């Protein structure tokens, strides 16, 4: 019975009296609460209880969505940009870049060294005309699988197959 009475008093205390606040800090000596055994904190915002949420099924959501969409007349995204117009003479017209130009590929570069099992080469798309975007058909990079041959001497290779076994076992006797 005592527990029940305490339980009933808690809601009255929460809404009618100041609520207890827990403040956690790293250094307890850094806080000076004065000569009293408690401190008073003022909250920067007033407490507002959350509103109760309601449940909705899919039909209710679709109906609400249809009501909102009904007022929309245009459902396609459009962007309008006013481009500045400039009078140009024939002399300066050569310096104005085109929006798009089809280009040509340069020669492939030499193959790179074999690293991590791959080697690659690249080429560049260029145009003789001044353009904002140059387009070429095909890939600008070519990658091939590769391996380093034993004749390259960059990887030490044992001439005797039992050499590795002796290194693993720690037996270095011949």
CA distance 120 to 62: 54
CA distance 90 to 99: 18
pLDDT in tens, 43-71: 666 767 777 767 778 888 787 777 766 66
pLDDT in tens, 116-149: 888 999 998 888 888 788 888 889 899 999 877 6
The radius of gyration of the chain's CA atoms, rounded to the nearest angstrom, is 39
pTM: 0.33
- The answer to whether 101 and 129 have CB atoms below 8 angstroms apart is yes
What number of other Cβ atoms are within 10 A of residue 118's Cβ? 11
CA distance 46 to 15: 12
Give the CA dihedral 27, 33, 37, 41, nearest 10 degrees: -100
What's residue 4's pLDDT? Answer: 41
Give the model's confidence band at 1: pLDDT under 50 very low, under 70 low, under 90 confident, else very high: very low
């Amino acid at each position: 019975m005592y527990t029940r009475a305490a339980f009933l008093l808690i809601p009255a205390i929460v809404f009618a009296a100041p609520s207890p606040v827990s403040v956690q800090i790293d250094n307890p000596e850094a806080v000076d609460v004065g000569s009293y055994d408690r401190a008073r904190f003022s909250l920067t915002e007033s407490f507002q209880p959350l509103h109760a949420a309601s449940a909705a099924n899919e039909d209710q959501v679709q109906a609400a969505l249809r009501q909102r969409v009904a007022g929309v007349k245009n459902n396609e995204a459009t962007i309008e940009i006013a481009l500045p117009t400039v009078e140009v003479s024939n002399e300066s017209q050569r310096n104005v870049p085109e929006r798009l130009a089809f280009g040509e590929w340069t020669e492939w570069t030499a193959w790179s060294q074999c690293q991590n099992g791959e080697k690659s080469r690249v080429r560049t798309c260029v145009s003789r005309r001044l353009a904002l975007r140059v387009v070429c058909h095909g890939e600008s990079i070519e990658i091939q699988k590769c391996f380093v041959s034993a004749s390259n001497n960059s990887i030490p290779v044992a001439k005797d197959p039992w050499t590795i076994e002796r290194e693993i076992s720690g037996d270095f006797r011949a």
